[in-house]
Amino acid sequence: MEKLFLIIKREYLTRVKKRSFILTTILTPLAFALFFLVVGFIFSYESDDVKRVAILDEAGILESGGVSNERNLVFIPEEKSLEELRQNLESLEYDGILRIPPITNLYAKSYTIFYYSEKPPTLDVETLISSKINKRIEAYKIQELQLDVAQLEALDSKVSINPEPLDENGEDSSQFTGAIGAAIGSFMGIIMYMTVFIYGMMVMRSVMEEKTNRIVEVMISSVRPFQLMLGKIIGVGAVGLTQIAIWAVLIPTLGFLVTLIFGIDTSGMQGMQNMGSGAAQAIDPEDAANMAQQILLAMGELNWGMILVLFLFYFLGGFFLYSSLFAAVGSAMSDDLGESQALTLPITIPVLIAFYIMFAAVQSPNSSLAIWASIFPLFSPIVMPARLAFQPPVWEVALSMGVLIATCILFVWISSRIYRVGILMYGKKVTLRTLGKWIFYKD
């Protein structure tokens, strides 16, 4: 036991003390923060030169109210003729002329207005102008057709679905539960997927290094091969947990700081929305606040303690299961890269399949594919965390956990059987068949 602890300690400390570990652990959140900073900056960017636009209102739609100015766009109603304006554009210090032709048909669905300038307007200027004029035309039509404003506003309604349980005492979930479950689920699934690959591969490389380095024979004259393998897996697993824990604290903190210091908030995001949906109306701030509240409410309804504990369980389970396989394969490897790929492929394929099933499970968390994949031990570490936010039945979780624990023990045992033979085997071409034979070798 004491020797196992010594091995774990060394495996953990040598990795955590490495400069590359410290750098990636700290730089990754910084990179995220920088990314959001740049994105925020890009979307909040506005050209600083102010454009003056003369408006020739031939339709008379602006009589009921002018066009409000924007930060970098000034609208000035003009009485001069188009010809006059066109010729004296520069001396009058205009950048463009907007001509609104008379409206002949109040029932037309589309209208064309004209913009005269040296250079065609940029996309944002174009969308801004058309949305402003559209509003004016709307107001003009209401006035001309003598429509009732209150009635018109009543037409503008939305429908949202609020899921209710059949059983009256059942838990009421908010309309956002599905979306939040999917978001949390795929986030967890992706973390699991990365963990299995990054840290599993780390175990494999380390086993391979010990073998090609020839330190391994010295080591196993002091400790049992099983202790060495287990110590390595636990040590690397602890490194993974450390890294994820640091990120879990650092990323939200940095995100918060970035928002606080640089004030990249709704204004930037609204710019994004305007760009994306063209003339669509910006979200009503009241609606947005309401939605945020609902999301928070829905998130509050989730059993976070349970989700975190289970996530930790599946993290460890998936890590032990796959990294023991990676250790077994690493012990059989030589420096030959092609050969090592042939050996890792059978491990990476289930991980990839699980990754895709995870996305399907997030879409429909109670499909039979999702249920069985979250019980099958090779997939469950990635698929089950993705389903956790959807409150899967207790028996499914319990069964999945039981199967995973049993499989972990089995795989660690099998892997240690392969490992003890593999680390002392040099210069032999190894196939999956030979690995299978090694399991049954005597000690």
Partner 1 sequence: MKPILKLEEVVKTYGDHVAVDHVSFEVNKGAIFGLLGPNGAGKTSIIRIITTITRADSGQVYLNGEKLGSRHPNTIGYMPEERGLYRKMKVGDHLIYLARLKGLSKTDAKTAIDYWLEKFEITHWWNKKVEELSKGMQQKIQFIATVVHNPQILILDEPFSGLDPINTNLIKSEILRMKHAGTSIIFSTHRMEQVEEICEHIALIDQGKNVLEGQVANIKQQFKENLFEIHYEGQPVLPERAGLQVVSNEGGRLIIQLEDDRASNQILQELLKQSIYIHSFREILPSLNEIFIRQVETDKRS
Rule CB under 8 A: which of 63-102 touch partner 1?
none
* Joined tokens for residue 173: 């979930």
| 237 neighbors 323 (Cβ within 8 angstroms) | yes
Provide the minimum distance between the beta carbon of 421 and partner 1 in the complex, in angstroms, as a whole number: 9
**Piece of 115-123, 210-218, 342-350, 366-374 that binds partner 1 (CB under 8 A):** 210-218
| 100 neighbors 55 (Cβ within 8 angstroms) | yes
- Please pick, from the candidates 10, 80, 86, 428, the single residue that binds partner 1 as defined by CB under 8 A: 10
How many residues bind partner 1 (CB under 8 A)? The answer is 23
Provide the minimum distance between the beta carbon of 439 and partner 1 in the complex, in angstroms, as a whole number: 13
Long-range CB contacts (within 8 A, 24+) of 101-110: 101/58, 101/59, 102/58, 102/59, 102/60, 103/59, 103/61, 103/137, 103/140, 106/141, 106/144, 106/145
Rule CB under 8 A: which of 346-405 touch partner 1?
none
The verdict on 253 binding partner 1 (CB under 8 A) reads no
Provide the minimum distance between the beta carbon of 205 and partner 1 in the complex, in angstroms, as a whole number: 13
- Please pick, from the candidates 42, 218, 308, 398, the single residue that binds partner 1 as defined by CB under 8 A: 218
Rule CB under 8 A: which of 14-33 touch partner 1?
14
How many other β-carbons are positioned within 10 Å of the β-carbon of residue 1?
A: 6
- Please pick, from the candidates 63, 138, 172, 217, the single residue that binds partner 1 as defined by CB under 8 A: 217
Reported residue count of the chain is 443
- Please pick, from the candidates 24, 122, 222, 363, the single residue that binds partner 1 as defined by CB under 8 A: 222
Classify 269 as helix, strand or coil.
helix
The verdict on 215 binding partner 1 (CB under 8 A) reads yes
| 242 neighbors 16 (Cβ within 8 angstroms) | yes
**Piece of 154-162, 208-216, 237-245, 292-300 that binds partner 1 (CB under 8 A):** 208-216
Beta bridge partners, 77, equal: 55
Q: Which residue has the tokens 């099933």?
A: 357
99 or 205: CB nearest partner 1: 205
Q: How far is residue 140's CA from residue 143's CA, in Å, rounded to a whole number?
A: 5
The verdict on 213 binding partner 1 (CB under 8 A) reads yes
5 or 413: CB nearest partner 1: 5
**Helix and strand element counts for the chain (H, E):** 16, 4
Strand duo 114-117 + 96-100: pairing: antiparallel
Q: Which of 239, 200, 208, 250 is nearest to 20 (CA)?
A: 239
7 or 233: CB nearest partner 1: 7
Provide the minimum distance between the beta carbon of 438 and partner 1 in the complex, in angstroms, as a whole number: 10
Q: How far is residue 54's CA from residue 51's CA, in Å, rounded to a whole number?
A: 10
The verdict on 428 binding partner 1 (CB under 8 A) reads no
7 or 254: CB nearest partner 1: 7
248 or 424: CB nearest partner 1: 424
> For partner 1, what does the binding mask look like between residues 224 and 243, x meaning CB under 8 A?
x-------------------
146 or 213: CB nearest partner 1: 213
Q: How far is residue 313's CA from residue 315's CA, in Å, rounded to a whole number?
A: 5
- Applying CB under 8 A, the residues found at the interface with partner 1 are 3, 6-7, 10, 14, 213-224, 424, 426, 437, 441-443
